[in-house]
Amino acid sequence: MKAKFITLYGAKGGVGTSFLATNLALALAQESRQRVGLVDLDCYRGGSLASFFDIDPKDRNLGSLLAAGSPTPADVEGFLLPTKHGIDLLAAPFEGQAMNASSLYRVLQPLAEVRPLTVIDAHAPHLADPLPTLFDHSALVLIVFTPEINALQQARFVLKRMSELRFPPERFRLVVNMADMTRDIPLEDMAEILGRPVSFEFPYNLTEVLTSINRGLPLMANPTRTALAPMFKLVAQHVMQVPSLETAHISPPAPSTASQQAAIDLGYTPTAGGAATPASVSTGIVLGDEAREAYRVLRRRVHARLVGEMKLSEVDLQGDSVKRAAMRQKVGEKIAKIVEGDVPELAGRTERQRLIEEVVDEALGYGPLEAMLRDISVSEIMVNGPDQIFVEQKGKLLNSGLFFTDEKQLRVVIDRIVAPLGRRIDESSPMVDARLPDGSRVNIIIPPLALIGSTLTIRKFPAERMTVDHFLRFGTLSDTMAEFLDGAVRAKLNIFISGGTGSGKTSLLNILSSFIPRDERIVTIEDAAELNLMQDHVITLESRPANMEGQGAVTIRELVRNSLRMRPDRIIVGEVRGGEALGMLQAMNTGHDGSLATGHANSPRDALARLETMVLMAGMDLPVRAIREQIASAINLIVHQARMRDGSRKITKISEIIGMEGEIISMQDIFTYEAVQTKEGGKLEGSFAVSPLRPRVLDSFENYGIPIPPGFNPF
């Protein structure tokens, strides 16, 4: 069925898209001498087009139409609201309702049969799931903006995204509304910003517009009385020259999971409080076994064609970003030609684009991991063999729905990770720790040790430097605790950070390190460098595994011993795991005050027990009491951080070590966190409490002239 859908897309809210769409529809009815459809897609806010005609849609709206299931042409005809001006309106639902690509497709296909000439008002604030489907059905898209820099930037983003989705550029026209409201940005400057000329300008006529809206009578209902009529007539005549589209060949969008459908609403998903937040786009579509295998075969076929037609040289993933971007573009264009010519089973634009991007990532990057590495909301990636990839987002584990083509592709990605670092991984050495170019930490283990296939765990390096303000905003600690820890670091207390896996120990260590005065010399020692200190005088040391001949290994213990000869003011050990604990304690006991370290433990008391065990791993035959005396005299504070059951991180205890009582190390809690209740959505609510006893470490505060934080007993 051939149809001519004209979509007006507002680059941002408030640019007048609805007003232009209404009057353009009337102008088209007058030019074509046929009834014209008009669709209000402002589903989230209830729409406004019905009020332009002073009609009440009641239950005859888009939401009610979709509630009936898959509409037929007769169903669509029954829900159209006729007006005396030659317009048949499909109104938006009165109350906010989600609209996704699948729902939109079910409406546009039958609408093409009953109103082949239709104007669509799509003034949505961001690109998302439904828009590629809408633009696929549109013979012409008018991108509406006003002469302000924000609207221009949004319009430029629309054009860029549509270019990435490989829409033909001739499908789009630029329309500046209220053009003479200001002359701060001339038309030629707008064209330069947008990369193409402006096609139509509508002048600013506030009096006519407001009168039309308030009376419920469109301007073009009486064109002889409006100065805007010639422009609407010009655009209508242009539209009449645009060829219609064959809509029958447009395939439906790929099905999404129920959770994805609920989340997508023209780029926004409602939160518990009713506000709107951008929907995440990092995860794929969770396919059934049969569909997954069909898609896997298709992706392998396209990749094989690519390899056969292009000589893909070894790509330096850590090399020049400009060259890599140019290579990605070149390969993407080649894959697009392969897909468009030889993959008829993927007729939908979004499905084709998804396949193109995945094959580019497979050919030049880390395959399906690329999308998750780009998504800043993903903090950790867990690959459990080629068929299953989980991510951690906002403290929760989610199935990404993405997968590798096979174990061979997964091993290629592993080799791309470890090869630039001079590491190797094979059956004789099936485990390795590595680091991505951006600093993200990677652990890899392959068969025969991993029975389900090669396993990767990637702890992403945060793009934004974490500060204490972030922790305060997240509720990880209180203001008094932050002030106390700041003073403790400046007073050169030795601090040990304990916590479980993924509890945020390294992030906390980064924050505590930021309290160190800028004029001090700091030596950091880590297995894989993750610390990101802002001081000027920082020496970063990283351990090294053995080479292929089993030689050349340098352990953290050796680095700790060597750091003592480097005249450090502070020593920071990224994670204490074994015999290096003895060297760390000796450093703390020999004048290197203010040292920081982290280690795995379930509580401050468990941290002491683990330190004892790790000292024994050094191979020194020391009595337990001697080890405990070393710990008690070396460490001043233990800060314990935990990941709570709702995914949030909290500093649950800050404890000071007082000394020895017989054979036992004596401790005293300074701060504690208690979860009080679980709120809606599983969110924990709790409170931080400060001990009524005055901590002994406050004496060090006074010695260094550091103010005592409020809330402590002065006696």
pLDDT at 548: 65
pLDDT at 127: 42
Question: How far apart, in Å, are the Cα atoms of 144 and each of 174, 489, 557?
Answer: 6, 55, 64
DSSP assignment string, 260-275 = HHHH-STTEEE-TTS-
Domains of the chain as residue ranges with CATH: 2-249 (3.40.50.300), 289-459 (3.30.450.90), 468-703 (3.40.50.300)
pLDDT at 61: 83
pLDDT at 608: 94
* Amino acid of residue 420: P
Beta partners for residue 433, in sequence order? 443
The string of pLDDT tens digits covering residues 222-255 is 777 777 888 899 999 999 999 888 877 676 665 4
pLDDT at 128: 55
The string of pLDDT tens digits covering residues 370-428 is 888 888 788 899 999 998 999 988 778 888 888 888 898 899 889 888 887 777 788 87
* Listed range (165-174, 269-278, 301-310) with the worst mean pLDDT: 269-278
Q: How confident is the model at residue 343 (pLDDT cuts 50, 70, 90)?
A: low
Taking residues 642-660, what's their average pLDDT? 91
Q: What are phi and psi of 661, to 5 degrees?
A: -125, 95
The string of pLDDT tens digits covering residues 64-112 is 888 767 889 999 999 999 988 889 999 887 665 667 777 888 889 999 9
Beta carbons of 455 and 384 less than 8 angstroms apart: yes
Q: How confident is the model at residue 463 (pLDDT cuts 50, 70, 90)?
A: low
Q: What are phi and psi of 36, to 5 degrees?
A: -115, 135
Distance CA 340, CA 212 (A): 47
Distance CA 491, CA 705 (A): 9
Q: How confident is the model at residue 260 (pLDDT cuts 50, 70, 90)?
A: very low
Per the structure block, which two tokens stand in for 128?
A: 């998302």
pLDDT at 280 over 50: no
Per the structure block, which two tokens stand in for 638?
A: 């233990």
Distance CA 143, CA 179 (A): 14
pLDDT at 47 over 70: no
SS3 label, residue 549: coil
The string of pLDDT tens digits covering residues 313-334 is 555 555 566 677 777 778 877 8
**305: how many CB neighbours lie within 10 A of its CB?**
19
pLDDT at 286: 47
- pLDDT above 90 coverage of the chain, percent: 28
384-417 CB burial, b ≥16 within 10 A, e <16: ebbbbbbbbbebeeeebbbbbbeeebbbebbebb
Q: How confident is the model at residue 289 (pLDDT cuts 50, 70, 90)?
A: low
For helices 624-634 and 580-588, angle between their N-to-C axes, nearest 10 degrees: 50
pLDDT at 300: 80
DSSP 8-state class, residue 177? S
Mean pLDDT of the chain: 81
pLDDT at 482 over 90: yes
SS3 label, residue 386: coil
Taking residues 139-144, what's their average pLDDT? 92
- Among 572, 651, 644, 584, which Cα is nearest to 611's? 584
**258: how many CB neighbours lie within 10 A of its CB?**
9
Q: How confident is the model at residue 345 (pLDDT cuts 50, 70, 90)?
A: low
Taking residues 119-147, what's their average pLDDT? 80
Q: Where are the beta strands (DSSP E) in 26-111?
A: 36-40, 81-82, 87-90
pLDDT at 545: 74
The angle formed by the CA atoms of residues 95, 99 and 104, to the nearest 5 degrees, is: 125
pLDDT at 385: 93
SS3 label, residue 117: strand
